[in-house]
Amino acid sequence: MKNKIFAGLVLAVFLLAAGIYLYESRQESVYTAQTEGSSIKWVDFNASAEAMKKACLLDVESYEGKVHLDWITLLAYAAVRGGGEFDAKSTDYITEAASKLESGEATKESLAEDYQYFSYYYEAYSAALGGMVGEYELENSNGEMEKKYGLKAFSPIAKGFAYQDYDDFGVERTFGYKRQHLGHDMMGLIGTPIIACESGYVEALGWNRYGGWRIGIRSADKKRYYYYAHLRQNSPYAEGLQEGDYVSAGDVIGYMGHTGYSDTENVNNITTVHLHVGLELIFDEERRENGNEIWIDFYQIAQFLSANQSEVERDDATKEWRRKYSFRD
């Protein structure tokens, strides 16, 4: 009997050790595959909408408290505890991190010391989400600008316009050559107003054989590049929009369509009317210029941002849509 108990204990210890080894090996393989020296070369962004919502709420609620809980820190902790994956336990990890930070048991710096890959996830998630929560001013119904703190990024689809989507990142595309779909498709109706998710500068505007009429917007901190494609035939952009323009989060920038898959401009060769929205992370300009682009799955971010849609109104004289309430970063 004692031998059986001893054997069971030995087996339990072995399985625990094996589990820890596999977890740490996976962490190391993820880190090694996605970094090169001090520069991140790829990011598998797996944060769930539920985790982002939880972390954002704790951040906003604690903004004027004794300890401000930075949502990126909370998400980085959940990522490192989950080995880069987000599941049902992730919100528990976020709660755990919040408790440690509020009690003084931990700081962002101590988490970086305690968890080998915390700094990697913090940098990666800062690049992906860094401009989405913070201070801003928003016009109220009385026409006054109110100072606020919270989510200041918007869904790419205007409020009141229906759409459907699913996670199609990485699905094969064959036009031109076989490649992965490095964006997120949001299906709707022709003319649906497309919204700038984040404030930034128009870096690209015009025709692309794959994306049709498209817009590329670079965030103010230059870490994110938002790509909006397959815009409407004939009048794809918001009136007056030009390359180099600064746009604010929540501005109408264009209209949904199905242009693209053609070397000839202004052609509808896409079967389904939809917006392709992509998010590229930029850690190294030289690597990017050499074709080493880092695109992340936008689906969960789109789900998260769906709670914050920009309210728009139509100018009957020009038939253009405009945001209803002014916004300032």
pLDDT tens string, the chain, 329 residues long: the values are 555 554 455 444 444 444 434 344 444 444 544 555 567 988 999 999 999 999 999 999 999 999 999 999 999 999 999 999 999 999 999 999 999 999 999 999 999 999 999 999 999 999 999 999 999 999 998 999 999 999 999 999 999 999 999 988 778 666 665 557 788 999 999 999 999 999 999 999 999 999 999 999 999 999 999 999 999 999 999 999 999 999 999 999 999 999 999 999 999 999 999 999 999 999 999 999 998 999 999 999 999 999 999 999 999 999 999 999 999 99
Evaluate whether 306 touches 162 at the Cβ level (below 8 Å): no
CA distance 172 to 156: 23
**Which whole-number Å values give the CA distances from 245 to 152, 185, 207, 285, in the listed order?**
19, 25, 17, 21
Evaluate whether 159 touches 310 at the Cβ level (below 8 Å): yes
Closest CA to 209 of 230, 179, 193: 230
Beta strands in 10-108 (DSSP E): 35-36, 39-40
- Phi, then psi, of 80 in degrees rounded to 5: -70, -30
**2: buried, middle or exposed (CB in 10 Å: 19+, 13-18, 0-12)?**
exposed
> In which element (H, E) is residue 47 found?
none
What is the pTM for the complete model shown? Answer: 0.88
